[in-house]
Structure 1
Amino acid sequence: MNEVVLFDNDGVLVDSLDVTDRAWTQWSEEYGLDPAEVLGGIHGRPAWMSMEVLLPPEQRAEGLERIVEIELAGSHDLRPIPGAVELLDSIPADRAAIFTSATHALGLARLTSAGIPIPKVLLTAEDVTLGKPEPEGWITAARLLGAKPADAVVLEDSRNGILAARAAGVGRVIGVGEATRDYDVDAVVPDLTACRWDGERLVVD
């Protein structure tokens, strides 16, 4: 079987790190939290899971609604990560999937804003019981493409996403961005211009 390619969204396909950090900084200040501490743990993790760590039970629903509101308001005029559009366009529709820790509305808004081709399989935080760093999303994405995790390559930029991919038992994990050199990845690329589809598998140049 040809390899399937599983993409994270933020930081891998869409250049949204600054937007995300600004949104969570605003949210942290509204809730009287230290933005630096909050930003240290939210990347690659569903917002609802972050709420369980950051807020008392009685504030979590409101806190989740507020961060989604702030993030959606900032999801316009986003840029694709270099090479993202071209790479996704080159992979057959039944060989690629996206799994994002964002909500469906936010994930779709960011992909659309950046002009990213949306594959048939788009999984979001609302489609899984447990988000990253748990492996459920990557396992499900591979299954929906008719593949086993061992036949998949994951492209990720966050520690939580890489931990999830390793726990899922995927065949390869490609780190996107220099910060991923500190994590358990098989290769590191600066952006997706360093990756290409050769008709059977993802090649890292």
Structure 2
Amino acid sequence: MTGDLTLPARGLLFDNDGVLVDSDEAVTTSWSRWAVEHDLDPAAVMAVVHGRRAADTVADLVPADRRAAAAELIDRYELEDAHTVPPVAGAAELLASLPARVWAVVTSGTPALATARLRAAGLPVPGAMVTGHDVRTGKPDPEGYLLGARLLGLPPEETVVVEDSPAGIAAGRAAGARVLGIGVRALGTGADVVVADLTGVTWADGVLSVPASSELRAG
């Protein structure tokens, strides 16, 4: 590749975990501990958690009469581990350059967890945030990204969704947005382009620029 890739983007809709904050280690610690508590295989649990609301994962794995307690437990474990989360490379620089009106976070996490992880990573908490508590149906349903675009006052097709998980990327595409994939989980998905992280990614005047050197796959 000889030049940077550019994507039209009047607004940016960021997932949180794996996109702005590198929470993989914390997620593995919390969910593996939770799996053992529920006599489940941690590896099997980890295969289904990324990009989804905790309550949706719990509903798939735990009998109905135990779900409320199980959901409360994983929420507690994740909050206990939130302080260990660093930023994804390039996230701080990109967010610092963005006007508040052009970006939002759309996360499957709870408001408390999303806020705790952003603060632990030293990143700003946005004025516009959609969490798992704000939607009736979690990712891969597009509801969260449609709401995020609405909070920015934009049609979704004029935004770029920044995501790492297959479920989140599917949600962004279903909403009608272009999608920038982050990391290896985004390979093999419908993302328009996939990069290793946010290093060197910039936004100005309605255009998101992605350095060719960081691309893992172009659309």
Same fold (TM over 0.5): yes
Equivalent position of 1:88 in the other structure? 95
Task: Give deviations 1:76-128, integer Å, cap 9, x for gaps.
Answer: 14211111011011111110000111101111000010011122101110111
Task: Give deviations 1:169-197, integer Å, cap 9, x for gaps.
Answer: 11x10110133121111111111113101
**TM-score, normalised by the number of residues in structure 1:** 0.96
The 10-residue stretch of structure 1 (87-96 or 177-186) with the greater mean CA deviation from structure 2 = 177-186
Q: In 2, are the aligned partners of 1:4 and 1:201 still within 8 Å (CA)? A: no
Mark the CA change 1:40 to 1:2 in structure 2 (over 3 Å): closer, same or farther: closer
Q: 5 Å matches for 1:1-205?
A: 3-170=10-177, 172-205=178-211
Mark the CA change 1:26 to 1:90 in structure 2 (over 3 Å): closer, same or farther: same
Amino acid at match of 2:204: D
Task: Give deviations 1:134-157, integer Å, cap 9, x for gaps.
Answer: 100000000110000100101100
**Partner Cα distance (1:40, 1:132) in 2:** 15
The 10-residue stretch of structure 1 (2-11 or 64-73) with the greater mean CA deviation from structure 2 = 2-11
Q: Give the match's secondary structure for 2:17.
A: coil
Amino acid at match of 2:136: T
* Structure 1 unpaired stretches of 5+: none
**Partner Cα distance (1:84, 1:2) in 2:** 17
Structure 1 consecutive aligned stretches of length 4 or more whose deviation exceeds 3 Å: none
Amino acid at match of 2:179: V
* Structure 2 unpaired stretches of 5+: 1-7, 212-219
**Partner Cα distance (2:138, 2:9) in 1:** 27
**TM-score, normalised by the number of residues in structure 2:** 0.90
Q: Give the match's secondary structure for 1:73.
A: helix
Report the CA distance between 1:56 and its aligned residue.
0.6
Q: Percent identity?
A: 46
Report the CA distance between 1:2 and its aligned residue.
5.8
Aligned length: 204
Q: In 1, are the aligned partners of 2:26 and 2:84 still within 8 Å (CA)? A: no
Aligned-pair Cα RMSD in Å: 1.2
